Amino acid sequence: MLPVTGEEDDQMHELEAIDKELAELQLRKAELELEEQGERSKLGNNRDHEADLTWFESEAPRGGIYMLPHVNIDEPPEPQIPPQPLIAMEDLAETPGYTQCPTCEEYVVTNTRKKVGELAWILCCLCSMFGGVAGCCLIPFYMDSTKNFHHHCPRCQSHIHTYRQW
């Protein structure tokens, strides 16, 4: 016989504690079944009482572990239904919109980013050609009406749509 080390000794104590708890739970289960049979005979067909016992048996902790209800994996998942009306990708404007991402096919509220568009560059060139003084040709870069709004998916970060105001 091999000598027992400290770690193996701890494991043995843990196993003994688990066996003891299991025996106590089996004894308690037998007591509950006897009580249940006795109460059923006294109460007759009381459906509320049966529902209470079913809840107790399914939700009670078992040695510190809660038992979850059975889930049937064979059934296909229910289709995802959007909670609010969808906006077509072509109709997305300056503000974030609720739409379906074409890449990940999830229903999302888009993230928007403003970026300088072609119109700002055209206006800058025109302003400088007609005598833009003291940096007035830079004004179009600070105007929101000359910017494009890029919509991105918050989950997969793919580009969904670019909204141009002109």
Instruction: Note the pLDDT of residue 10.
Output: 74
Per-chain mean pLDDT for the chain: 76
Instruction: Note the pLDDT of residue 49.
Output: 47
CB 87 within 8 A of CB 101: no
Instruction: Note the pLDDT of residue 157.
Output: 87
Instruction: Note the pLDDT of residue 13.
Output: 81
Instruction: Note the pLDDT of residue 38.
Output: 73
CB 121 within 8 A of CB 134: no
Neighbours of 119 (CB within 10 A): 17
Instruction: Note the pLDDT of residue 134.
Output: 76
* Range list of β-strands (E), 47-131: 61-62, 65-66, 98-100, 107-109, 111-116
Q: How far apart are CA 145 and CA 44, in angstroms?
A: 77
pLDDT per position as a tens digit, 51-87: 444 544 555 555 666 666 666 666 666 666 666 777 7
The string over 33-55, giving b where at least 16 C-beta atoms fall within 10 Å of a residue's C-beta and e elsewhere, is eeeeeeeeeeeeeeeeeeeeeee
Give the residue ranges of the chain where pLDDT is below 50.
Answer: 1, 47-53, 55-56
What sign has the CA pseudo-torsion 155, 158, 161, 166?
Answer: positive
Is the pTM higher than 0.85? no
